[in-house]
């Protein structure tokens, strides 16, 4: 079994990256091979609407654009589980993650009246990290795009699940930033307690995704 995780955050060592590392640890605890790919290290753009993947008679393997994403997309075809991780920027995933999802998923979404063309069913999940707390989710409307993302993942890969991590800590020292809306000490306490529980959940997610 192999699980590949994709980090859509530019901040190594912070919330999203840490959660994905726990996912990998969970998968490794079940004997799986794992790989973590940092999207911000790759040179690529989103879908170009070339529609090469929609031409008649074409056998789609992955997006045909030859850039830094091509070997990554090929590796997805050979793995057993994929996990995407992204912080929320301006009410959505990061630009790198959105571009990656376009290139990852669109080639397999059929325009004919037939199922998606990914060659087999694999397990998938997406992890979101965000400033707001869980009670604020309805007011910000995050659920709709999260449900859409999960739907696309499930449509292509056969199944998907989402994990939401709220109230995350953005800075080590809040006094250095114009961020009076947030209580830095409260965020630190939450990071030391609730976030540890979230990491345990991420570990369990990784183990579950590679379970036979």
Instruction: Break the chain into its structural domains and give their ranges.
Output: 2-209
What does pTM read for this prediction?
A: 0.94
For residue 112, what pLDDT band results from cuts at 50, 70 and 90?
Answer: confident
Q: How far apart are CA 20 and CA 205, in angstroms?
A: 10
For residue range 11-66, list pLDDT tens digits in order: 999 999 999 999 999 999 999 999 999 999 999 999 999 999 999 888 888 999 99
Tell me what the mean pLDDT of segment 181-210 comes to. Answer: 95
pLDDT at residue 116, as a whole number: 74
The owner of tokens 């080590």 is 172
pLDDT at residue 61, as a whole number: 85
Bridge partners for 35 per DSSP: 4
Kindly state which CATH superfamily the domain 2-209 is placed in: Flavodoxin domain (3.40.50.360)
Q: How far apart are CA 130 and CA 74, in angstroms?
A: 30
**Is residue 142 pLDDT above 80, yes or no?**
yes
The total number of residues written for the chain in this structure: 212
Tell me what the mean pLDDT of segment 100-109 comes to. Answer: 95
**Is residue 169 pLDDT above 80, yes or no?**
yes
Tell me what the mean pLDDT of segment 80-91 comes to. Answer: 96
Tell me what the mean pLDDT of segment 67-71 comes to. Answer: 95
Report the mean per-residue pLDDT for the chain: 94
Distances in Å between the Cα of 151 and the Cα atoms of 28, 63, 113, 162 are 27, 20, 18, 10
Tell me what the mean pLDDT of segment 126-131 comes to. Answer: 96
């Amino acid at each position: 079994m192999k699980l590949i995780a994709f980090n859509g955050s530019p901040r190594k060592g912070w919330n999203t990256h840490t959660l994905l590392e726990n996912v990998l640890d969970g998968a490794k605890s079940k004997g799986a091979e794992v790989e973590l790919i940092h999207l911000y290290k790759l040179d690529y753009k989103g879908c170009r609407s070339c529609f090469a993947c929609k031409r008649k008679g074409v056998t789609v393997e992955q997006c045909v654009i030859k850039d830094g994403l091509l070997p990554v997309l090929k590796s997805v075809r050979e793995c057993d589980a994929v996990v995407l991780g992204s912080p929320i920027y301006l009410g959505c995933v990061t630009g790198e993650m959105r571009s990656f999802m376009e290139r990852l998923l669109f080639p397999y979404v059929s325009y004919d009246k037939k199922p998606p063309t990914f060659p087999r069913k694999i397990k998938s999940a997406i992890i979101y990290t965000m400033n707001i707390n869980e009670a604020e989710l309805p007011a910000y409307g995050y659920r709709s795009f999260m449900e859409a993302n999960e739907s696309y993942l499930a449509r292509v890969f056969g199944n998907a699940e989402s994990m939401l991590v709220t109230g995350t800590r953005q800075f080590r020292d809040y006094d250095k930033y114009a961020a009076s809306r947030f209580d830095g000490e409260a965020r630190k306490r939450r990071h030391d307690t609730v976030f540890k529980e979230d990491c345990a959940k991420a570990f369990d997610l990784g183990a579950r995704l590679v379970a036979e």
